[in-house]
Amino acid sequence: MKIVVLKFGGTSVGTIEKIKNVAKIISNYKKRRYEVIVVSSAMSGVTNELINKSNKISKNFSETEYDVIVSSGEQVACSLIAGRLIDKGFKSRSWLSWQIPIITKGPHKNSRISQINKSKIIKYLKEGGIPIIAGFQGVNNESRITTIGRGGSDASAIMIAKFFKAERCIIYTDVEGVFTTDPNKLKKANKIKVISYEEMLEMASLGAKVMQPVSIQDARLNRIDIEVKSSFIKKPGTLITKRSNIINNKIVTGISSTQNDSKVSLIGVKDKPGVAASIFKPLSKNLINVDMVVQNISANGKETDLTFTIKTEDLNKTKKIIELNRNIRFRKLLLKKDVSKISIIGVGMITTPGVTFRMFQTLANKKINIQVISTSEIKISVLIDKKDTKKALIALHKEFKLDNKE
């Protein structure tokens, strides 16, 4: 059985006209002799509207009922897609998670798919049907509806592709694919034809909005190739696959940048075992995500300066938490808004010397000061003033030959 999983995001099913277009795409795969399994998100804006309604009912809205209400958006979209396919003469129906069932584990609002009962869907496919499955939702062992968190519909599609051993998993969205950098920030950004799970995971973690990191991780762990493409333009998309499948002569695959970071520096912290944990534990408890961290020990070994970055919306809360923290002592607290993290990403960096020098020299030539540096095997990130972001993107994009079309 030649199965393809097609997932449509909220923008792809955002209006009735767009749903009619989605039905055309699905029917084209069916005509090409694929057994098609469709996974749909809610229509764009619907989930946020449902969340707002729950907030108006209660500031502490029940998590179990939250999952019930926010998962209802997918039900509507699936019914509309199936209805359109039926109108065009195809056998189709919508499927909710409990009807299959799709079994999940973990807490409400952030569950993970652990098992999918395939029998009903396989039978339906053999009968010539096109199942339209609600993404983002599952059912737990207490028969309660659960949701899978941000990027949940992508995660649903990836796990369905795994359990049904699909030949292809295609994520349809409102962009053509993954670009070398944000095309809204840089006109010379180019579409990447093929990218590794690891590179895509770094880009998603650093702000690329095409897919959520958790969905990329699911694909990587289960070795599911994903194609990301537009539901509005008939062009090839970007294939996300394992590193060994890629023949690539580029050292750097992509560049990402952030817009709303702030820098926090604690000067003259009394250096002793556990001091870093004492600083970061209360931040973690307050759900403040700490990103780049740099620590410098003084020459006498008695003090340290600690710098880290957070999202700007957490800056005031972070300041209060640090000032009220009686477990740490420091001489000065410095806060700086309007900084941006620029990252170059590429598996080619592993085997290529001199990449760090080229990045730093390129920024120096443009008189851009580097405030913080963070590296991993396939990523180099630097913190700079926000006003220099575009200048840095243009320079680095050119330096690593990303301006050139593949």
Give the domain range for residue 161. Answer: 3-174
Residue-wise pLDDT for 64-122, tens only, equals 999 999 999 999 999 999 999 999 999 999 999 999 999 999 999 999 999 999 999 99
Could you tell me the two tokens for 12? 């792809």
- Determine, yes or no, domain membership for 405: no
**13 has a pLDDT exceeding 80:** yes
> Cα separation of 381 and 359, whole Å?
10
The answer to whether position 118 is within a domain reads: yes
pLDDT confidence of 160, banded at 50, 70, 90?
very high
> How far is the C-alpha of 360 from the C-alpha of 347, rounded, in Å?
19
Query: Residue 143 domain-assigned?
Result: yes
φ/ψ (deg, to 5) at 103:
-90, 135
Instruction: Tell me if 88 is assigned to some domain.
Output: yes
Total domains in the chain come to 1
Residue 406 has pLDDT above 70, yes or no: no
Do the domain assignments include residue 66?
A: yes
pTM score of the predicted model: 0.85
> Would you say residue 271 has pLDDT above 90?
no
State the pLDDT at residue 300: 67
pLDDT in tens, 202-241: 888 776 777 888 889 889 998 999 999 999 999 999 999 9
Higher-confidence position of 247 and 107? 107
pLDDT score of 213? 84
Position 273 scores a pLDDT of 83
Q: What is the CATH number of the domain that holds 35?
A: 3.40.1160.10
Confidence of residue 44 (pLDDT cuts 50, 70, 90): very high
Give the gyration radius of the chain's Cα atoms.
24
Distance CA 304, CA 148 (A): 41
CA–CA separation, 40 and 78 (whole Å):
6
User: Which residue reads 């405030």 in tokens?
Assistant: 371
pLDDT tens-digit readout, 277-324: 999 999 999 989 998 998 887 666 788 899 999 999 999 999 999 999
Does a structural domain hold residue 204? no
CB atoms within 10 A of CB 244: 7
Two tokens, residue 138: 């599952």
Evaluate whether residue 253 is within a structural domain.
no
pLDDT at site 66: 97
Distance CA 321, CA 310 (A): 13
Q: What CA–CA distance (Å, rounded) separates 228 from 8?
A: 10
Read off the pLDDT of residues 343-395 as tens digits, 9 standing for 90 and up: 999 998 988 899 999 999 999 999 999 999 988 889 999 999 999 999 999 99
- 232, part of any domain: no
Q: Given this model, what pLDDT does residue 155 score?
A: 93
User: Any idea which residue has 């409400």 for tokens?
Assistant: 108
**Residue 289: DSSP 8-state:** P
